[in-house]
Structure 1
Amino acid sequence: MPDTALPADESEAREILGPAEPAFEPLVHNPRNGVTGGVWRVAAGDRTAVLKVLTRSKKATGRWAATEDPRHWNYWRREAYVYESGLAQSWQPYGIRAPRLLASVERPDGDVALWLEDVHGEQATAWPITRHVEHASRMGAAQGATRSAESADDRPWLSRRFLREYVGSNTLGQELLDADEAWRQPLIRDHFPPGLRHDMVRLHHDREWFLQIMETLPRALSHLDQWPANVRADGPDSVLLDWAFTGDGALGEDLGNYLPDSVFDLFVPVARLPEYAAEAYQAYLHGLRQSGWRGDEALVRLAVRASAVKYDWLTALMLARAGEEQLDYGGGRTVSAELRYRERGLTLAFLAGWATEARALAPRLGFPEAPSGSD
């Protein structure tokens, strides 16, 4: 689906970057999202910036359609509010910041043009595991230090019930979970571990229990789209991009997203995942403690483990697309189908282990048991 917004007229670009003629380079992003009119790197003379156009007029259907509901995860103008309010920089004292906002331009057609600092540090997709672990520590410090103040923040444009609405909007292929022929497809048969079908069907059937657990756990201001493609280096610190989903989440939910997403998109090999996840979790806890947080560690562990429910939809998607060409994020190039299905299948099996741990841990913390017969 092509982007519909124009990058900018020359007067807008020159007001931001100076009199030199601007050149626009399209950047990788999710082209299906109706909220994103386009993303470009803009060069004018020796200056550069990133331009992101937020829109509600781009044609998009289903889960990626833009919405006017300010609490919905895909509210079209949220990212502008996050930058304009300064909220995007609230984690800066703890080693995570956003790109600097150069300008927010309300266009005559109703779109909003965000002109942002062009961050040149290395993208986290190429980081060694040690750097991901350092990011997890900074994440813990930031969320621990700002948790109480920001979780009570009633800014009307922060998302609410993100996990429930996001997971519920991903319905492609769900009818295939119980279809024998779908599990006999060569990519599934050859690359998904034994027992994964049972585990993922069980996770799907237990979805409501997991969501209720996640919604009852301690809260924190959350980015809700933390994965390596949205992170850059800035010296020892991290620069976090794409604040479009920002809002209320469980303390630990962002980490529970970041870790499997590192592997799902082939940035970290799945063979390193158990070691990587354990180190990153301890680093996150260390950051929490360093920030002064004194809560129950078991509640954070439960949030990370129960966040496996976010990927309930992915198994069905993999079943539905096992016969298609496999494209990378943004659709710019093909990836090995065998490698993708092997790495994702093993990661889903790892998440099934998280789900099992969550089912055992929750009752010990006073939460209801998972539905009878689900384990």
Structure 2
Amino acid sequence: MSEIKAETLTQVLSQMLGTKIISADIRTKPLHGGTVGNVRLVTGIAKTTDGGEITYKIVLKTQKKWERYSDPGSWRREYDFYKSSFGALFTESFRWPECYHVEMNEEENETQIWMEYIEGISGVDLTGGMYERAAEELGRFQGKLYAEQPAFLQNMTNLSEVGYMKNFYLHYRSWNRVYDYIRSDDCDIPKHLCKMLIDVDESAEEIFNRIEKLPIVLCHRDFWVTNIIYTDGNIILIDWDTTGWGYLGEDMASLIADDADIEHMVEYYHRCIPAYYKGFSEFADISHITDNCIYEMILLLFGYRLVEGYMDAGAGDKLQETDDERTLHLRTLQKIFEMRNEQ
């Protein structure tokens, strides 16, 4: 874990608090999120030049170099974004945390990002209305970028590629462990759920032909409840390290199915997609799109992942936890199946 330098901290706090800070004490605790990075809440009391004291909270995200499958530059993408003009594209109602300082240690291949601490509602505490608001705000943001085509964004080199979803799916499909399992006699996933996944494999070429007719937009690609913070009616979105070009609706697949609110999954499928399209339509005419392909995207992105999770849970030592996890994955697959019946 990188140590916090007193000189850096006073510089950052001076920027954040708008007054010269001469010293500050430090307390840290890990925050959830940042799956492959180290995210800490840094708190304490900062001292000003006139002897005043200010209580502060700030987030420090440290990221060491690593290679995500088919996206090797993702480890430094948030650093690149915060160094760019990207922040100017946001609005009060949809934005990322404000950044006060970024550093790159070239020798260690490590980035540090000092950013605003956001207090709000996130994760399992999000309500249906908040899901819907997040979907609409994302659609509005993507629609604006789609319509305006900011030149600097078109020229950014460190963005994940349009084919990321396809590569992700094909990578999973080529993995014999999951591919063979749903086709084997030993598989204890209900047959109708296995058939749902097998049908996607058999129709994959046709599905991607349909998806590739959709508009190409800037996708967050990790648009799930833990990265969404609802505060004062606004949406703050964190963890931009997988961001890149993709197809309209990819992020809705994540919102609906990634660590889903299973009880409301089908409801949110019906609520969030119209909200998303409504937001996007404020900037671009997409009335000709009658096939949004989001159901298929959910299966492409999460079908085999859920099978993998089910299989891994089956290898656990704690019987109760294993049963609970396996049930969770099966229930998620079942809800996806129910979506198909309601299309």
Structure 2 counterpart SS, 1:255: helix
- The reply to whether residue 11 of structure 1 matches residue 7 of structure 2 is yes
* Match among 308, 311, 316 for residue 302 of structure 2: 311
- The reply to whether residue 48 of structure 1 matches residue 57 of structure 2 is yes
Structure 2 counterpart SS, 1:180: coil
Partner of 1:85: 84
* Match among 97, 103, 106 for residue 104 of structure 2: 106
State how 1:20-99 maps to structure 2 within 5 Å.
Answer: 20-29=24-33, 31=35, 33=36, 36=37, 38-45=38-45, 46-56=55-65, 65-66=67-68, 72=71, 75-88=74-87, 90-92=89-91, 95-99=93-97
Structure 1 counterpart SS, 2:112: strand
* Match among 302, 312, 332 for residue 292 of structure 2: 302
Partner of 2:48: none
How far apart are the structure 1 equivalents of 2:64 and 2:238? 18
How far apart are the structure 2 equivalents of 1:317 and 1:311? 10
CA contact (8 A) 2:33 2:227 kept: no
Partner of 1:116: 115
* Match among 201, 204, 213 for residue 201 of structure 2: 204
How far apart are the structure 2 equivalents of 1:325 and 1:318? 11
CA contact (8 A) 1:14 1:21 kept: no
How far apart are the structure 2 equivalents of 1:295 and 1:196? 32
The letter for the 1-side match of 2:30 is P
Partner of 2:49: none
Task: Return the index of the structure with the highest Cα Rg.
Answer: 2
- Please give the TM-score of this superposition, normalised by the length of structure 2: 0.81
Partner of 1:276: 268
Partner of 1:179: 184
* Match among 157, 162, 165 for residue 163 of structure 1: 165
State how 1:212-227 maps to structure 2 within 5 Å.
Answer: 212-227=209-224
How far apart are the structure 1 equivalents of 2:167 and 2:75? 15
* Match among 216, 241, 244 for residue 244 of structure 1: 241
How much identity, in percent, do the aligned residues show? 19
Q: By how many angstroms is 1:104 displaced?
A: 0.6
- Please give the TM-score of this superposition, normalised by the length of structure 1: 0.75
Distance 1:196 1:215, change over 3 A: same
Q: By how many angstroms is 1:74 displaced?
A: 5.2
Distance 1:326 1:201, change over 3 A: farther
How far apart are the structure 1 equivalents of 2:201 and 2:3? 41
Q: By how many angstroms is 1:53 displaced?
A: 1.4
How far apart are the structure 1 equivalents of 2:34 and 2:317? 15
Q: How many residues align?
A: 318
Q: By how many angstroms is 1:100 displaced?
A: 0.2
CA contact (8 A) 2:314 2:322 kept: no
Distance 1:80 1:326, change over 3 A: farther
How far apart are the structure 2 equivalents of 1:241 and 1:232? 8
Distance 1:205 1:232, change over 3 A: same
CA contact (8 A) 1:219 1:251 kept: yes
Distance 1:348 1:66, change over 3 A: closer
The answer to which structure has the higher strand fraction is 2
CA displacement, residues 198-252 of structure 1 (integer Å, 9 cap, x when unaligned): 1112223444443443334211111111000001122111000000011111112
The letter for the 1-side match of 2:307 is A
Query: Where do 5+ consecutive residues of structure 1 fail to align?
Result: 59-64, 328-333, 359-375
Partner of 1:369: none
The letter for the 1-side match of 2:148 is A
The letter for the 1-side match of 2:180 is E
